[in-house]
Chain A
Amino acid sequence: DAGVIQSPRHEVTEMGQEVTLRCKPISGHDYLFWYRQTMMRGLELLIYFNNNVPIDDSGMPEDRFSAKMPNASFSTLKIQPSEPRDSAVYFCASSRTSGATNEKLFFGSGTQLSVL
């Protein structure tokens, strides 16, 4: 299994530009999570999907952020317009419901975003 695949690994953009981060979860996993990691705030859950449906987006910082999951094998996180304070590492993770739990998350390698 290839694991969770994220692209790009690094993104450098200018303030005001649109940024799209991509994620391919592990085949057969029914949960997908987007996290943001910064030194100041640690690891923050932005949004998660179950069977391609957004379940909780309360962690999305503001309307500039949006996430979609058009099918079971692809998700995007979009920032429009981007701002310097969005600079962070963004992780995608997936998991599979097993019995009563979906505890073990598999993380991608992350996208390092720098907004200048």
Chain B
Amino acid sequence: GNSVTQMEGPVTLSEEAFLTINCTYTATGYPSLFWYVQYPGEGLQLLLKATKADDKGSNKGFEATYRKETTSFHLEKGSVQVSDSAVYFCALSDPGGSYIPTFGRGTSLIVHP
């Protein structure tokens, strides 16, 4: 079946530090990959996505590249801000699974001034 594995948090960084949150996946087909972000007290919202191998999704300074050879979709940002503090969810959508997203457990990011 499909699954998504994320690094456990919390990830604690100082402002302007470099961020990497690891995500690997298992899928039976050729999935689309996503990062969702959940700010405190809110629901999840789509941050970025990539639909095929070697695609790079980007938004708000965050980037992730679809690596089929390593089945990974790591989230990166060159310089984090306090406002980036949130929970980040990696997800996949598999055509073989009616496109219903499968979510990872989420990784909490805490950015200190």
Contacts and interface: CB of A to CB of B under 8 A. Distances in A.
Contacts, number: 49
Nearest to B38: A107
A93 interface: yes
Chain B residues touching A, range: 20 to 34
Interface stretch (A11-19, A69-77, A78-86, A97-105): A97-105
A91 B87 CA distance: 15
A109 B32 contact: no
Interface residues of A, number: 21
B1 interface: no
Given A45-B103, A107-B43, 10 more contacts: A43-B44, A48-B100, A55-B98, A93-B43, A100-B95, A104-B49, A105-B36, A105-B44, A106-B45, A107-B45
Interface of B: 32, 34, 36, 41-46, 49, 89, 93, 95, 98-101, 103-106
Interface of A: 4, 33, 42-43, 45, 48, 55-56, 91, 93, 100-110
